[in-house]
């Protein structure tokens, strides 16, 4: 009776939960965990332990497919940008060819984003709460791989910056040449998918974060603002390139837009 009052439900509802004839909704489940100071895994263990292996297999397949797909999609866009920058360093008429190629790569990437996003959303609706399916050994083994992968990505980024400074600084290429930028983008095209793949893989092992994010009420304000910022950045990019022939430096609007998005997200994030 006391529990029913705290949860603002009927005594009959609690009785059904106790007898196994019914189950609490996810928000009530979180409240029960807070009241009894225990984890969701402990609450659900008796029911979920029978299906843990199957659930783990399904979850693993989803997250592995999601991490690979997102890395490939972003990689496709970066390949398109790299090719575009290469053509942008040639005669002006070649910029159009580069732009068409870039748009074709974006066209290939967008459906991947949409399909994977919808697939993950559907999974989260069906499985708003998951038990902890990974052992400490599994997490530690992955963390070792994660550290090496991130180190590799950072190394590629630093190498790209070094060659950019060297080639321009030694005047091997003049300021109008895009070759050093193309090399930088090529290395970035390798590094960024590594970040994305292993970043998503790391989140796969954080079941507690999954449960919090799934049950958390969505606040899309930051996402919408960041979307507008990056659209404005794209408009500026094409205007600078098309009307001022500044393709070789116009790309700087994207990292600037990304930094502004980061600031906006930090300011608007409540938790």
Give the separation between CA 95 and CA 109, rounded to whole angstroms: 21
- Higher model confidence: residue 63 or residue 178? 63
Q: Is the dihedral of CA 119, 123, 126, 128 positive or negative?
A: negative
Of 7-11, 20-24, 68-72, which one has max mean pLDDT? 68-72
Sign of the Cα pseudo-torsion (54, 57, 62, 63, in order): positive
pLDDT surpassing 80 at residue 262: yes
What pLDDT shows up at residue 95?
79
Give the CB-side neighbour count of residue 115, counting CA atoms within 13 A.
13
Cα 111 off chain centre by: 16
Its pTM stands at: 0.66
Instruction: Please write the tens of the pLDDT for every residue from 95-130.
Output: 788 888 999 999 999 999 999 999 998 998 888 888
Q: 44 or 97: whose pLDDT is higher?
A: 97
Q: What is the mean pLDDT of the chain?
A: 85
Q: Is residue 27 scored above 60 in pLDDT? A: yes
DSSP string over 162-222: HHHHHHHHTTSS-TT--HHHHHHHHHHHHHHHHHHHHHHHHHHH-HHHHHHHHHSPP--HH
| 3-state secondary structure at position 132 | coil
- Asked if 48 and 140 count as a contact pair (C-beta separation under 8 A), the reply is no
Higher pLDDT pick, 271 / 6? 6
* Interval 162-211: pLDDT, tens: 998 999 888 888 877 888 889 999 999 999 999 999 999 999 998 888 88
pLDDT of residue 128: 81
Within 10 angstroms of residue 209's Cβ, the number of other Cβ atoms is 12
Per-residue pLDDT, averaged over 41-50, amounts to 60
Which segment of 55-64, 122-131, 212-221 scores lowest on mean pLDDT?
A: 212-221
Range with the poorest average pLDDT among 35-49, 118-132, 154-168, 216-230 = 35-49
Residue 220 pLDDT level (bands cut at 50, 70, 90): low
Q: Is the alpha carbon torsion for 199, 204, 207, 212 positive or negative?
A: positive
pLDDT category at 46 given cuts 50, 70, 90 is low
């Amino acid at each position: 009776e006391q529990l029913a009052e705290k949860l603002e439900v009927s005594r009959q509802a609690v009785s059904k939960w106790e007898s196994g004839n019914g189950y609490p909704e996810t928000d009530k489940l979180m409240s029960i965990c807070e009241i009894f100071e225990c984890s969701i895994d402990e609450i659900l263990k008796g029911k979920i332990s029978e299906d843990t292996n199957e659930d783990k297999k399904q979850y693993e397949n989803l997250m592995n497919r999601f991490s690979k797909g997102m890395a490939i999609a972003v990689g496709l866009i970066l390949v398109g940008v790299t090719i575009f920058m290469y053509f942008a360093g040639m005669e002006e008429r070649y910029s159009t060819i580069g732009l068409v190629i870039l748009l074709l790569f974006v066209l290939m990437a967008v459906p991947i984003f949409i399909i994977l996003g919808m697939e993950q959303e559907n999974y989260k609706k069906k499985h708003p709460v998951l038990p902890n399916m990974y052992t400490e050994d599994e997490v530690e083994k992955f963390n070792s791989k994660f550290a090496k992968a991130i180190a590799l990505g950072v190394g590629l980024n630093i190498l790209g910056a070094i060659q950019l400074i060297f080639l321009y600084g030694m005047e091997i290429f003049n300021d109008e040449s895009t070759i050093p930028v193309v090399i930088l983008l090529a290395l970035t095209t390798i590094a960024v998918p590594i970040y994305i793949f292993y970043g998503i893989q790391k989140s796969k092992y954080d079941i507690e974060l999954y449960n919090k994010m799934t049950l958390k009420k969505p606040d899309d304000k930051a996402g919408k603002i960041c979307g507008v910022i990056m659209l404005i950045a794209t408009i500026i990019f094409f205007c600078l390139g098309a009307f001022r022939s500044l393709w070789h430096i116009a790309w700087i609007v994207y990292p600037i837009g990304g930094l502004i998005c980061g600031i906006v997200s930090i300011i608007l994030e409540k938790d």
